[in-house]
Structures are given as C-alpha cells and as structure tokens.
Structure 1
Amino acid sequence: MAFPSLTRRALALAGFALTATAWSAAAQAQATIKIGEINSYKAQPAFLEPYKKGMDLAVEEINAAGGLLGRKVELITRDDNASPGDAVRAAEELVSREKVDVLSGSFLSNTGLALTDFAKQKKFFYLAGEPLTDKIVWQSGNRYTFRLRPSTYMQSAMLVPEAAKLKKKRWAIVYPNYEYGQSSVATFKALLKAAQPDVEFVAEQAPPLGKLDAGSVVQALADAKPDAIFNVLFGADLTKFVREGNTRGLFQGREVVSVLTGEPEYLDPLKDETPNGWIVTGYPWYGIQTPEHKAFFLAYHGKYKDYPRLGSVVGYAMIKSLAAGITKAKSTETEKLIAAFKGLEVTGPFGKFHYRAIDQQSTLGAYVGKTKNDNGKGVMVDYTYFDGAKFQPSDAEVKKMRPAD
C-alpha cells in the first residue's frame, strides 16, 4: 500500500526538479546580454581583424564597468563567407539557437542588404556597422535597421567639393562591380555633374570584386586620356591597380580622387608604391589629437601593442552604440531599442555623433586629405575631419527615397 505514496512523492520531487531546472535555465539566459555579429572575416581580414579587436576592447571596457542593465555582455560572431545567403543562415542560427538579443555587423554591401531584409522579415533589431550602400537606410531601409558608418553618398559628398576644385573636365572611373561600387559611382557622378555641369565621364571600368585584371583596366583608362580619375577599388584590387598604374604611368599628370584609400588597411600595404597627392577619405590615426581619440588609442595600444586601423574604430563604435542604446532603452526588446536609437547620441573615437530619426543613419564622419609617400610608407596629410551630419540629403529627399515604416 506504500507504492502510491511513494509514486506521489517521486512525482512531486520530479516536478520540483523540473521547476528548478527551468528556473536555472531562465536565470542563465538572463546572465548575459548577447550581441550576435556576422561578418566576412576570411574574405576581408585586413579590415575585419582590427574590427574584431575594436569590438573586443569595447566589450571588455563595458564589462569592467559592470556590464549593461546589471548583466555582462557576450559577443558571438559568425563568418558569412562573403555570401548573402550564408549571412542570412548565420543570422537565423544566432537568433533561433544562440538566442542573441541584437544582430550587428556585415562588411560587404550585398551581405548588409541581406541582413537588412532579414531584420525586416523577423522584426529583429540590426545595427549595420560597416556596409556602405545607401540602400540600407534609403531604398531598402526599414524600422529595424540602423547603420553606423558614413554611407557611399556621404563619402562621395565629402569628396566632390574637392574634386570640383580641380576643374578637370574629362573623368575616368574605376570601381568593383557590386552594390558598394555601383552606389558610390552613381552618387559621385550626380553630385559632380551638379557642381560642375561641363564635366564628362569618358571611361568606366567595373571589374568583379577581387578579380581585377589590372593590366587591361589600367590600359583602358589610359587610352581614354582622362584629366582625372575617380577610384573606388580597395583591398588587393587597389594594390594591383596602383602597382600597374605606376608601372604604366597612368597617374602622371592626372589627379585622382579615391574613396577609402586613406584607411591604414589599404594604404599600409602600398608602402613605397604609395602615390602622392591622391584626394582620399581615410584615417590618419597618427595625427588625431582629440581627447576621445587619445583615450581610444591608448586603450587599444595598451591591449594589443599595435596601432588601430579604421576597422578598429568601427568595431569599437558599433559596440559602444549598442551599449548606449540598450542603456537608454533599459531593455534589449526590439521595439524599445528602435525608440532609443532614434536620435541616440554616442561618443566614439571621433567624438560625438548621433543616429538620425528620419533614416536611422549615424552622423559619424570621416577624414578627408591627401596621400603622401613618406620615405616608403603611405600616410595622409592635409587632412580634415568632415562631420557626417553636414553631408546628408535633405529630409524631403530622404522621404522620397525611403519607404514608409
């Protein structure tokens, strides 16, 4: 007759154990705030290795100061193999299995657009750190996606006044034939034509990303006899282009305006092949003396015994943005984060910037200057910081381009 009693007791104990397990799992889930991050680490190591270090430094600082909302921050990264499909699969895994609180990252514009659409479909908060295409906040923009870096429009808008001052009529253009390159060129053409109506675009070369046939591209540009060149190539493609251009004399007597080339990730590998006098956007880490940058530089150098690259700044500022947004929202819930990020002010290595409510683009700026071959090392000189808030289209123009939320 004791068996029913024992059975009830066993069931009670089992129920208690299940309750305790569930409570423990819930407590563990609350133990950390999980940031899911997706990027092309294997495909673009020059930028993304420093970027990862910048993120890690920011997470370390946040946790050393007590974390966020009383919880530690955990960064969970995935490689997207430079593939939009793989980026979406990584996002699915991070959201469904890892239970991340937010999504962030991407480098290439096509993977960034894929994650922008994923955020929309899943109604999940996504902070695009690096991809530059305007579509992320305009034509394909949605209420779940914010973007940190200055866009192709912003960087082209910074360079066009300098290009117009050259008073060159015949321009040639070279760019990687995917979303970032196409977007940069379209904006540059439109803005330069508005500033200088008599300008002509006499040649255009658009090799696939990472597959530049430098000899044929340089020869085609030289044959067009342009007065100036607008370059959008980066990474290994840029190095090949510069080497072949130097060999064939493409740059002699010609002005060059170039997006991204002043970033250490792309300028450093050129070494003694660095051309003089190119007008570029970039990051002259060795000369920025603001208090915010000095503090960042000392912390980064102290941790890694190395100087930061622009990727380091982007990774660091992205995590600091998420921290500021979560703190303001007092939550990691998507809707509360969206509300918090609209107009959110953040302090990063370049000083203060904010996320515009109208298109969810940050006002982070960029440095514009000229390249110089300084005893076999590429540096930027005559540089100025351009505030991103001053290089945006009007609110009316944005409303025409961006779909209603």
Structure 2
Amino acid sequence: MRAKNYFVGAAFALLASGMASSAMAQAEIKIGEINSYSLLPAFTEPYRKGWQLAVEEINAAGGINGKKLVVISKDDGGKPADAQTAANELVSSEGVAMLAGTFLSNIGLAVSDFANQKKVFFLAAEPLTDAVTWSRGNKYTFRLRPSNYMQAAMLVEAAAKLPAKRWATIAPNYEYGQSAVSVFKKLMSEKRPDIQWVDEQWPPQGKIDAGPVVQAVAAANPEAILNVTFGADLVKLVREGNTRGLFKGREVVSFLTGEPEYLDPLKDETPEGWIVTGYPWYSIKTPEHDAFLKAYQAKYNDYPRLGSIVGYQTIKSAAAILAKAGSTDPEKLIAAAEGLSVGSPFGEITFRKIDHQSTLGAYVGKTSVKDGKGIMVDSSYKKGSDYLPSDAEVEKLRPKD
C-alpha cells in the first residue's frame, strides 16, 4: 500500500508539475531574437541594452494582454547559415511567437527567407538593404530601420546641392554596401545628370586595406566621395585618408557615420564637415526622446547609441503588434502589423501595408569635433515617410505575395 501510495503521489506530483509548466508557458509570450553580438559588439551591445529596457517596461506595465513578455536571444556570429539555424531552433524548440533582430543585410535576408518558407512572422531590426522589403520582400517580413533608399534620399537632398561633379565611392563589398552605392548613384544622377562617377572601391567588410583604397581614390581625383564603410573599417579609412590628405578640399557624404557607435572611436580624428546620417542624442529635444533618454541613463548610467534606439523600438513595436493581434497566429500578426502606428523615441511611426517598411526616420547633419570628440552638428530629423517612393513605384519593385 505504501508503495502504491508513493507511486500515485509521484504521478500526481508529475501531473501537477506538468500543469504548472503548461500554465506558466501559457502566461508567457516569447520572441526569438537573433543578432551578430560577437561580431559587431559596438552596435549590438547597446542594441541589447535597448531591447532589455523595452522588455522591462512592457512587463512592468502588465505585459502583453496580461502575459509576460520573454525574449530568447541567439548570436548568429555574422554567418547567414548560423542565423537560419538559430531561427529554426527558436521556432521549433523554443516555440517563439515571432522572430526579430539581425544586423547585417545578408543575414537579414537569410532570416527573411526562412520566415517566408516556414510562415513565421519576422521583424527585421537593422538590415538596410532595399531587398528586405522590395525585390526579396515577403508577407511575413517587416522592417524597422530606414532602408538604404530612404537614407540615400535624405543624403542626396544635401549632396545634390554641392558643386562637385566628379564622384568616387567606397563601400564594403557585400549586400549592404552594394545596395547603398547603387541607390545613391541612381538618386543622385536623377537630380544631377552632370555627375560623373570616376571610381569605385569595394574593400571586403571588416578587412579593409585602407592604404591602397585611399591611394586609388586619390588617383581618380574626385571632387566628392561617397563613403559607406563603418566600424573598424571606417576608423582605418579615416586615419589613412587624413594622413594622405584624401579629404582635404573634397566633400564627403557618408552613410551611418554620425551614429555614436562609429563616430565615438574616431575621437579627435573625426573629419570636419562630412554630410552624414546619425544619432545626435545630445541635441534632440523632444518629449518622446527625453523620456527614453532618462529611462536609459537611469538603468545603465550611460548614454544611448543608435543601437539602443533600434533594440528598444524593435521590441516595443513587436509588443504592439502582438497586443493588437491578440494572438500569436502569424496571419493575425501580419494583419495587425500592416498599417500599425506606434510611438517611438523619434515620434510616431507606421508600418506601411504596401511593403512592410516602417516610417522611422533618421537624423542628417555634419561631422565636427568638440572637446576631442566627434559630434554631429547642424542636424535635423528626416521623417521616413517623406523619403519613400510612391505606392505605384513600390508595386513594380516588390513581388506579389
């Protein structure tokens, strides 16, 4: 009898444990997050802090329709195949309601392809290639950050006013760099048919040999340069360019350089007067940004980078989509996301129905040096909605779902 009672008791304990685990699972909503943490810590560490702050705020406010939000994060190591493996594990083993994140454009496209094949909702945080929402866009993929097209259009607005006619380009030789150069040249040539493109340099991402690149551009004798390098490659390019006088007397237009992640390491070597997109957190005076800045500094005792904004807004947007859908069904998430407007530290943004691109904008200004540090000056916020092509143009660019 004692043995029988023991086994019955054990069975009830196991059943109760299983029921408790099931109840716990039902009380949670999981998001699977993927990013290149080990490869690009300058951006992804602030990014992680941003989404962790968002999770904390969401759960403190009652979660998603009363359910706790849990983010399960994986490192893709900068490899598309590893990102797809991580995505598969998150969906099949962890049971996440959606996927989010990615940084590099080729990785964003790999996860987007996975999402499309497996019919899983994917909110791309950072990858900028236009292919994410246009030529390789699909119904399951949405993007937060302003695309290459949007940022190029913002930069061209200023670049087209420059007197320079002879232009050279320097960009990393992978999807992001190729896309950025292509769209900038297209938009610039449309506004300035007199432009000549006299040289292109395509160093491998993360492995720039700056000396020969600078020498080749100087030999082409351009009047202006488009730069798309970032991170350690940007530091090497600037250092070598400064040493050899490449930027002296030449205009430079540069994607992303005004982001603290990439501007801070330049310190007093920061070139003066480059036209850049970026994030001058120290000069943004709006209620939405003030609230974010205060919360971020209180939690981390540090200033935010653009990655912080992207991570924070990715999870805030994902939570808003889940809350509106009232379900984790991918089709209902898509229906909830299309046309959804949400608040952000940069003001209200909308995920467009036609291409799933958000209208989050960017700051455009010029580089300068203050107290031995690189900063952005003369900056202004450009609304993403003002720099997107018409619906008719998008329909030509995007495949039918």
TM bucket, shorter chain: over 0.9
Trace 1:159-170 onto structure 2 (pairs within 5 A): 159-170=155-166
Deviations 1:30-89 (A, max 9, x none): 121111100000110000000000000000011111111211111111000100000000
Aligned partner (choices 249, 260, 265) of residue 264 of structure 1: 260
> Sequence identity, in percent?
65
The residue aligned with 1:141 is 137
Q: Does 1:181 align with 2:177?
A: yes
Aligned counterpart, 2:367? 371
Corresponding residue for residue 350 of structure 1: 346
- 125, 128, 135: which is aligned to 1:129? 125
Q: Which residue number corresponds to residue 241 of structure 2? A: 245
Cα distance in 2, alignment partners of residues 392 and 365 from structure 1: 10
Report matched runs for 1:209-248 at 5 Å. 209-248=205-244
In 1, the alpha carbon distance for the partners of 2:21 and 2:54 equals 27
How far apart, CA to CA, are the structure 2 residues paired with 1:304 and 1:279? 30
Output one character per residue of 1:266-319: Cα deviation in whole Å (capped at 9) or x when no partner. Answer: 000000100000000000000000000000000000000000000000000001
Which structure has the bigger radius of gyration? Answer: 1
Whole-angstrom distance in 2 between the partners of 1:10 and 1:349: 58
Q: Which of 61-70 and 173-182 deviates more?
A: 61-70
Q: CA deviation at 1:215?
A: 0.3
Distance (Å, rounded) in 2 between the aligned partners of 1:14 and 1:7: 10
Partner Cα distance (1:217, 1:14) in 2: 71
How far apart are 1:16 and its partner, in Å?
Answer: 6.1
Specify which of 62, 65, 87 is matched with residue 66 of structure 1.
62
Look up the match of 2:326.
Answer: 330
1:305-356, Cα deviation, whole Å (9 max, x unpaired): 0000000000000011011111111122211110000011111110110100
Report deviation, 1:25. 3.4
Is 1:284 matched with 2:280? yes
Is 1:201 the equivalent of 2:197?
yes
Amino acid at match of 1:341: A
**TM-score for the superposition, normalised by structure 2:** 0.97
1:234-273 deviation per Cα after TM superposition (whole angstroms, max 9, x unaligned): 0000000000000000000000000000000000000010
AA matched with 1:105: G
Which residue of 1 is the match for residue 93 of structure 2?
97
Q: Secondary structure, in 3 states, of the residue corresponding to 1:104?
A: strand
* Cα offset, 1:117, TM superposition: 0.3
Aligned to 2:25: 29
Distance 2:169 2:369 in 1: 23
* 2:148 is aligned with 1:152: yes
What is the rounded CA distance, in whole Å, between the counterparts of 1:342 and 1:197 in structure 2?
A: 37
C-alpha distance 306-9 of structure 1, shift in aligned 2 (>3 A):
closer
Given residue 126 of structure 1, which amino acid in structure 2 is its aligned partner? F
SS state at 1:165 partner: coil
Report how many aligned residue pairs link the two structures.
401
2:287 is aligned with 1:296: no
Q: In 1, distance between residues paired with 2:41 and 2:14?
A: 46
Distance 1:260 1:185 in 2: 13
| Residues 1:314 and 2:310 aligned together | yes
| Helix, strand or coil at the partner of 1:253 | coil
CA deviation vs aligned residue, 1:345-373 (integer Å, no higher than 9, x gap): 11111011010000000000000000001
> Greater CA deviation, 6-15 or 238-247?
6-15
Distance 1:6 1:45 in 2: 59
Amino acid at match of 2:384: G
Q: Partners in 1 of 2:211 and 2:4 — Cα distance?
A: 83
> 1:392 is matched with which residue?
388
- For structure 2, list consecutive stretches of 5 or more residues without a partner in the other structure: none
Decide which moves more: 285-294 or 65-74. 65-74
Amino acid paired to 2:106: N
Shift of 1:26: 2.2
SS state at 1:38 partner = strand
Q: Supply the AA of the counterpart residue of 2:65.
A: L
- Give the deviation of 1:23 after TM superposition: 3.0
Q: Deviations over 1:152-206 (max 9, x none)?
A: 1100010012111002110000000000000000000100110000101001000
- C-alpha distance in 1, partners of 2:13/2:334? 39
1: CA distance between counterparts of 2:351 and 2:248? 42
**2:376 — aligned with what?**
380
Question: Which amino acid is 1:332 matched to?
Answer: T
1:335 & 1:149 partners in 2: Cα distance?
23
Distance 1:9 1:396 in 2: 73
Q: Distance in 1 between matches of 2:259 and 2:268?
A: 16
Once residues 215 and 108 of structure 1 are traced to their aligned partners in structure 2, the CA distance between those partners, rounded to angstroms, is 25
Q: Distance in 1 between matches of 2:78 and 2:22?
A: 35
